[in-house]
């Protein structure tokens, strides 16, 4: 008799748990079936009237039904909670493509970027990075570099002179001299920086541009070593192996002096407007340090050898980024500078 009621009650509760559409409805089912004044509670009150042996069996049965319904309610409850969470989070949808507020990221000047790469390369090879003044003495810019007054090589470097007789450095080479004055050999150094030439400005000429100077002085320094470092430098800047050629070039502060060309990266050497159909592009000047230069800085050329190189960063940046107007670098125009 009690068993029949119990199984009817269980079946009806299962049905109503399954049918509950909201958490509130489910709660009503729970109160009705399992609450203190609910159906199961009512039945358990009747247990006392049963004979002892039957009471135990019916009690067990009742507890089993109760446990089963509780589990069912809990799982249904969890389902409702999860749905509610999902709905709440869904309401929090936002458009992630919305452009973020605040300033757009800034960027470093292309020349700063390329210069940093070169500094890092040479620092990793044990070279010091040195600085020198932009306003230089005639001695450091010319004389100490084996370019005495009235030397025709001075023509190649049209110079801004200052009212006080000093000048704006025409190359970063004077930092070589300052490096040798400051440090004893052996010495490995580079000197990037701003240089000036007295030149009218147009798409391919600037009076203000950037160079990197490099120098190594040690007991054994040869052309073979120089070329080794130049190839590392080029691979760093152009991010690939490049074919180079070394040919005679004249710079008073080196002997022998070289011009270093790379095979044109645009046409691969077959000839194009960039390499003026020649297949090669002139990239830097270098050579073994002239004994006069060493001597003037108090270094014995019989004991020490060195190589030096200098390159125009601005021109390299033009090549790397395909810039066809050199004036853009000093223009301050964010339409240009914002691209790097």
Partner 1 sequence: MKFSYNWLCELVEGLDLDARRLGLEITMKTAECEGVTSFGAHIAGCPPDEIIELDNKSITHRPDLWGHLGLAREVAAILRKPLRDPVKLERIPAGEGAVGVAIEDFDLCPRYSGLVFDNVTVGPSPLWLQYRLEAIGLNPINTIVDVTNFVMAELAQPLHAFDRDLLHGGTIFIRRAREGEFLTALNEETYKLDRTNLVIADANGAVAIAGVIGGLDTGINERTRRIVLESACFSGSSVRKTSAKLKLRTDASMRFEKSQDPVNTVRGLARALELFAQVSPGIRLVGGLADQKKEIAPPEPITLPMDWLTRKLGREVAPEEVRDILERLSFGVTETAPRLFSVTVPSWRATRDVSIKDDLVEEVGRMIGYDSITPRPPAVACTPPPDNPQRMFLRAVRSALAAQGFTEVSNYSFLSEERARQFGFDPAEHVVVANPISSEQGLMRLSLIPEICGNIIENSKNFESFRLFEAGREIHKQPAGLPREVPHAVAAIYSRENGEQNLCELARAAQCLVPGAEIRPAAARCFEHPARAAEVVWRGEVVGRLFELHPSLLTGRAALIDLDLERIQRLSAVEKRYRPIRRFPTSAFDLSVIADLRALIGEMQKQLAGLAGEWLESIEFLRRYSGPPIPEGRQSVSFRLTVGAPDRTLSLEEVGAIRARIIDGMRALGYELRI
| Torsions phi, psi for 287 (to 5 deg) | 165, 180
Cα 209 from Cα 194, distance rounded (Å): 6
Tokens 């270098």 identify what position? 286
Query: What DSSP character marks residue 92?
Result: T
Window 203-232: contact mask with partner 1 (x via CB under 8 A): ----xx-------x-x-xxxxxx-xx-xx-
Q: Which residues of 268-277 are buried (b: 16+ CB within 10 A; e: fewer)?
A: ebeeeeebee
Comparing CB distances to partner 1, the nearer of 71 and 201 is: 201
Burial class (CB in 10 A: 0-12, 13-18, 19+), 180: buried
263 contributes a contact to partner 1 by CB under 8 A: no
The least CB distance from residue 293 to partner 1, in Å, is 11
Comparing CB distances to partner 1, the nearer of 62 and 175 is: 175
Q: Which of residues 156-175 bind partner 1 (CB under 8 A)?
A: 156, 160-164, 166, 168
Q: Which of residues 100-159 bind partner 1 (CB under 8 A)?
A: 102-109, 111-112, 116, 119, 123, 126-131, 133-137, 149-153, 155-156
90 contributes a contact to partner 1 by CB under 8 A: no
- Characterize the bridge pairing of strands 280-289 and 208-218: unpaired
- Cβ-contact 240, 221 below 8 angstroms: no
Contacts (Cβ under 8 Å, ≥6 apart) of 61: 3, 6
Comparing CB distances to partner 1, the nearer of 68 and 181 is: 181
**End-to-end CA separation in angstroms for the chain:** 88
Q: Which of residues 184-203 bind partner 1 (CB under 8 A)?
A: 186, 188-189, 194, 196, 198-201
Window 265-294: contact mask with partner 1 (x via CB under 8 A): -----------x-----------x-xx---
The least CB distance from residue 165 to partner 1, in Å, is 9
Window 27-66: contact mask with partner 1 (x via CB under 8 A): ----------------------------------------
């Amino acid at each position: 008799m009690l068993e029949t009621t119990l199984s009817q009650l269980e079946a009806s509760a299962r049905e109503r748990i399954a049918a509950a559409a909201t958490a509130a409805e489910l709660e009503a089912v729970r109160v009705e079936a399992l609450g203190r004044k609910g159906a199961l509670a009512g039945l358990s009150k009747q247990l006392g009237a049963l004979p002892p042996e039957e009471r135990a069996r019916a009690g067990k049965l009742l507890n089993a039904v109760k446990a089963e319904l509780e589990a069912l309610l809990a799982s249904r409850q969890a389902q409702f909670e999860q749905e509610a969470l999902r709905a709440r989070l869904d309401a929090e949808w936002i458009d992630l493509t919305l452009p973020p507020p605040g300033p757009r990221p800034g960027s470093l000047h292309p020349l700063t970027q390329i210069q940093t790469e070169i500094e890092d390369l040479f620092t990793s090879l044990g070279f010091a990075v040195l600085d020198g003044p932009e306003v230089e003495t005639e001695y450091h810019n010319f004389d100490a570099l084996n370019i005495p007054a009235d030397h025709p090589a001075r023509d190649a470097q049209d110079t801004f002179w200052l009212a006080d007789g000093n000048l704006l450095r025409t190359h970063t080479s004077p930092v070589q001299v300052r490096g040798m004055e400051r440090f004893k050999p052996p010495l490995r150094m580079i000197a990037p920086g701003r240089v000036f030439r007295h030149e009218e400005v147009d798409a391919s000429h600037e009076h203000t541009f950037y160079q990197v100077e490099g120098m190594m002085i040690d007991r054994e320094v040869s052309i073979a070593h120089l070329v080794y470092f130049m190839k590392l430098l080029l691979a760093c800047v152009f991010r690939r192996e490049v074919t180079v050629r070394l040919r005679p070039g004249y710079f008073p502060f080196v002997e022998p002096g070289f011009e270093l060309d790379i095979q044109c990266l645009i046409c691969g050497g077959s000839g194009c407007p960039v390499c003026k159909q020649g297949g090669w592009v002139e990239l830097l000047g270098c050579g073994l340090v002239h004994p006069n230069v060493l001597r003037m800085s108090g270094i014995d050329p019989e004991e020490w050898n060195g190589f030096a190189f200098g390159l125009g960063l601005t021109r390299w940046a033009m090549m790397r980024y395909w810039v066809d107007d050199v004036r853009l670098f000093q223009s301050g125009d964010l339409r240009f500078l914002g691209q790097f």
